[in-house]
Amino acid sequence: MTEPAPVDELAYEDARNELSEVVTALERGGLGLDESLALWERGEALAARCTAHLEGARTRIEAALNPDDDEE
């Protein structure tokens, strides 16, 4: 099995898709404690990455909609 890509290198869509897979695996259950914790930690990191991407997009949109704010 290959190592997953570092979370901080994932595009939004990749992080979102992997997060969905993590949630599905955790909901399905049947995992050991260590594996469940590792998946949960990965899921938390993926969720944070998605949030960072969305916040960056929001900042760019706000800057595009309010170009005069940059002049202050």
Question: What is the per-residue pLDDT across 14-36, written as a single tens digit (0 to 9) for each?
Answer: 999 999 999 999 999 999 999 99
pLDDT tier at 68, thresholds 50, 70, 90: confident
Dihedral, CA of residue 53, residue 55, residue 50 and residue 3, to nearest 10: 50
The pTM of the whole model exceeds 0.95: no
